[in-house]
Amino acid sequence: MRPMHIASVGVPRLSAYVARAVARPSVATASRCAPVTGMRAFSFARACHRDTAWLDRGRMTYEELKPYTEAPSGKITLIDVREPNEVAQGMIPAAVNVPLSEFGSAFNPNSYSENANDFERKFSFPRPSFDDPIVFYCRSGKRSQQALETARERGWWNARNYSGSWMDWVAHEKEKQSSEDEE
């Protein structure tokens, strides 16, 4: 019996068809898909199945963030991008710190596999995967916006910014404390 040649079963034609289908998605598919740009480590098909409901809420507010900090589930990673000397003033409960000065190298998708252990050793938590929900904050919201933009450009699409950041958090906590003291 003679071996069958791949061309005789039509595999090249099938792979060409698949390549054209991926390169030019139908209008119905494209409308449900987020754009796939930049250095993303996921496929077009995976990008089409994103749950953007959490992301579509826009900027994070104190009222939305507070329940996550009271009962952390581990589903959301809250990242403080302030420098260590600022973090010494305090942090939002359940937050972890990745200073903005180290953010670019820490969230480099090209170093994902070889430096994953280094990230965890350096920052004491595993680097979030590309699909994990992330909330960034800083002192007033400007640096966390920079971190958000960098993260999204590099493939961490499911990230939001706590717009008030540390200053807003402290103001709300003081207000809450003073209202409890009056009772």
Q: Identify which of 70, 77, 35 has the alpha carbon closest to the alpha carbon of residue 52.
A: 35
Q: Which backbone phi and psi does 123 adopt, to 5 degrees?
A: -105, -5
Q: Identify which of 59, 93, 83 has the alpha carbon closest to the alpha carbon of residue 139.
A: 83
Gap between the Cα atoms of 136 and 146, Å rounded? 9
- DSSP string covering 83-117, please? -HHHHTT---TTEEE--HHHHHHHT-GGGHHHHHH
The residues annotated as belonging to the active site are: 138
Q: How many angstroms from the chain centroid is the CA of residue 89?
A: 26
Q: Identify which of 43, 100, 94, 34 has the alpha carbon closest to the alpha carbon of residue 66.
A: 94
